Amino acid sequence: MARRRKLGSGVSGDLDPLVRLWMLRLLVLLGGQREFMGTHGFRNDAVAVALGLGHWVDEAEFDLPDYLKRGEGSSSEFEVKRVKRALRQMHQQAEDSKPQTVASEFMRRNMHRLAELVGLDETDCKILTFVVVIHNERLLDDTGDLLGQLSSSRVFQVLSVLLELPETAVRTALGAQGILARSGLVSVERRGASTLCNKLNLLSDVFADLMVSADTDPLGLLKGTVAPSPQGTLSLADYAHIQPSLDILQPYLQHTAQTCRRGVNIFLHGAPGTGKSELARALAQELGCELFEVSSEDEDGDPINGEHRLRAFRAAQSFFAQRTALVVFDEAEDVFNDGDLMFGRKSTAQVRKAWVNRMLEDNPVPTVWLSNAVRGMDPAFVRRFDMVIELPVPPRKQREQMLRMRCGDLLDAPRIAAIAEVDSLAPAVIAKAGGVVRAISQQLGAEKTAAAFEHLVSSTLRAQGHRTPLRQGGADVAMGYDPAFIQADADLEEVARGLVGTQSGRLCLYGPPGTGKTAYGRWLAEQLGMPLTVKRVSDLISPYVGESEQNIARAFRDAQSEQAVLMMDEVDSFLQDRRGAQRGWEVSLVNEMLTQMEAFPGVFIASTNLMDGLDQAALRRFDLKVKFDFLPPQQAWALLRAQCERMQLPAPSDAERAQLARLHSLTPGDFAVVVRQSRFRPVRSAASLIAALEAECAVKQGAGRSMGFV
């Protein structure tokens, strides 16, 4: 309920004449006096005193001015009949000197501007005036409460009597097609019975106060519900990853502005921080139109529920119908997804389905609806939007470009490349971290500034449940990658040369851990001159039904748009043999993978340690299956000599070669582990290097002897 302005002394001299007339009509004509008077006194002394009935009020309980106190010899007995007679006389006198409007000059001016802007007629203005006053004037509200709990039908009857309007006119004005309802200025609470004031809803809690307290511009009356959008910080150039959609959206909105087309609604969905609000601002700037946002919280920071936000949206449509403008409705899930399917509770939009459908077909001001997800939304609503656009996290190339443009003065090239690798890095995360670090960059210094930026980004990503930037360790860089030191049943360099020409192929790399499968994928992408997108199980698997399939589809789609090599580690998690599936989602996951693999035109690499469990249909879809295995003695010896040279160690002896040959489960990954260990456990000779390799082989579980290693 709106805040109300209380009168100064609460006596009849302070009451607006029209307000006093309404109070008397409520009591005399509408029967409120039955509840107003009890056997021994009034049930609301403040109302009695304000109307001039203070003679019968207990002076000890109410601070009356002298001229209303009982004189000596007057009766102290409360006489109901005499009070009723006095009320009738007061009512008749008020009717005889009937005021036509409230005394507030502010109210009259604001009402006149509203009427011209929105198109209110005389009936609308009378109703709106009364609703504003009852929300502002506590005494009128208290008098209305004396009628008890009212149905919607009874409210129409009450307003008809109070405002001297035909009941049919009141019903029409407050009906769904009436301008008061369509503009959101006044709506009747249709659910259940309530007091008069609570049955009549205004646009916002502050609207009534604004109407009577200041000479307010109509836009100012929307305070707390609709506000001009702040200036954007991005341009349409920052959204190149959805260029096909922009190529349709931008000219469509231009056509809408030129032709005043009605019913234009765009639904924009994507993960938090992907830049949905900024895209709306960039569109408005490009189109040269005003942009207004429907508020999601009030002046106190409290959330506004979906019903009140819809009311604000209706007001925006009425207020800005004659302006070249766009309306943004952020967090649209407040309206479309605030139900609960489990308990059968409908969303706000579903409760008002017919009205929402009409609104989406006839709104005069083009609207961009923003939501974090489209899942769970009633398909009947989805199909009514002119365009439904998904705004994903920008691809890596664009993430890297944004980092260079906005944080190039804070980060070096290796850090930019490492941070850009995170496929969940949204523009908002970059902007926030950059803003914080840039504010304190002088105090931090160059190196600490870069570290601080990476720390802030990592903290935000962890809080969102995403992986954080990974930087290649020094040991891995020192190892390098040479196919000559990889044991595989195919010529890896020949495969690379073939793919350079075709730029298309599906490879399955399988074998024990550490044999160089993932590293080969990185090396292959370098040879092809293509970026590499690596997806792990944690990046794709979701606990929500259907979301894992969506993540898989998105991974292939993003790789195609970036023209990147797509590599999936531990692909056995997605391609398990369907014959052993126990749950429906396991089958749908494999089906989605197979569908995407077949449709993908680029280079796809799948790696797994568990070849035996893969689905047979999946195996047939790979163009080449390459087995990676443990190093044979000759290859292990060549890698040992090369590593000793890199580490500036003495060349190994023949005896050490024989010792190395006894390691039957040696992999390039073991060498990488030992090199990393050397940072804190120095390796000073070939013998100590071999000893460390022996220790690594000893801890491997289930490593059997490989044929030909003796």
Q: Are the CB atoms for 210 and 222 separated by under 8 Å?
A: no
Does residue 472 belong to any structural domain of this protein? no
- Closest to 403 measured CA to CA, from 437, 372, 371: 437
pLDDT for res 161: 96
Tell me, yes or no, whether 36 and 160 share the same domain.
yes
pLDDT for res 581: 53
Does residue 672 belong to any structural domain of this protein? yes
Domain containing residue 506: 483-627
Does residue 6 belong to any structural domain of this protein? no
Which portions of the chain are predicted below pLDDT 50?
1-13, 59-62, 64, 67-76, 473-478, 703-710
Would the CA dihedral through 566, 567, 573, 575 be positive or negative?
positive
Tell me, yes or no, whether 597 and 613 share the same domain.
yes
Tell me, yes or no, whether 171 and 99 share the same domain.
yes
Tell me, yes or no, whether 149 and 275 share the same domain.
no
Tell me, yes or no, whether 443 and 580 share the same domain.
no
Tell me, yes or no, whether 165 and 273 share the same domain.
no
d(C-alpha 623, C-alpha 602), whole Å:
12
pLDDT for res 7: 34
d(C-alpha 480, C-alpha 647), whole Å:
13
- State which of 216, 239, 258 marks the end of a domain: 216
DSSP code of residue 410:
T
Tell me, yes or no, whether 29 and 168 share the same domain.
yes
Q: Show the tokens assigned to 262.
A: 């009605």
Tell me, yes or no, whether 44 and 149 share the same domain.
yes
Tell me, yes or no, whether 504 and 568 share the same domain.
yes
- State which of 187, 216, 245 marks the end of a domain: 216
pLDDT digits (tens, 9 = 90+) for 191-211: 889 999 999 999 888 899 989
Does residue 706 belong to any structural domain of this protein? no
For position 511, which CATH number holds?
3.40.50.300
pLDDT for res 710: 35
Tell me, yes or no, whether 103 and 173 share the same domain.
yes
Helices (H), 242-275: 243-259
Does residue 705 belong to any structural domain of this protein? no
What count of residues does the chain have?
710
Question: How many structural domains does the chain have?
Answer: 5
Would the CA dihedral through 51, 52, 57, 61 be positive or negative?
positive
Does residue 707 belong to any structural domain of this protein? no
Does residue 562 belong to any structural domain of this protein? yes
Tell me, yes or no, whether 418 and 362 share the same domain.
no
pLDDT digits (tens, 9 = 90+) for 79-112: 788 888 889 999 999 999 888 778 788 889 999 9
Q: Show the tokens assigned to 258.
A: 């030129």
Inter-CA distances, 116 with 52, 317, 318, Å: 38, 15, 11
Residue where the block lists tokens 């519900």: 225
Does residue 69 belong to any structural domain of this protein? no
Tell me, yes or no, whether 248 and 272 share the same domain.
yes
- Closest to 162 measured CA to CA, from 148, 176, 143: 143
pLDDT for res 609: 87
End-to-end CA distance of the chain: 87
pLDDT for res 612: 80
369 pairs with which residues across the strands? 267, 329
Helices (H), 99-242: 105-114, 122-136, 138-145, 152-163, 167-174, 179-182, 196-199, 207-213
Helices (H) and strands (E) in the chain — how many of each?
35, 14
DSSP code of residue 608:
E
Q: Show the tokens assigned to 128.
A: 């709106």
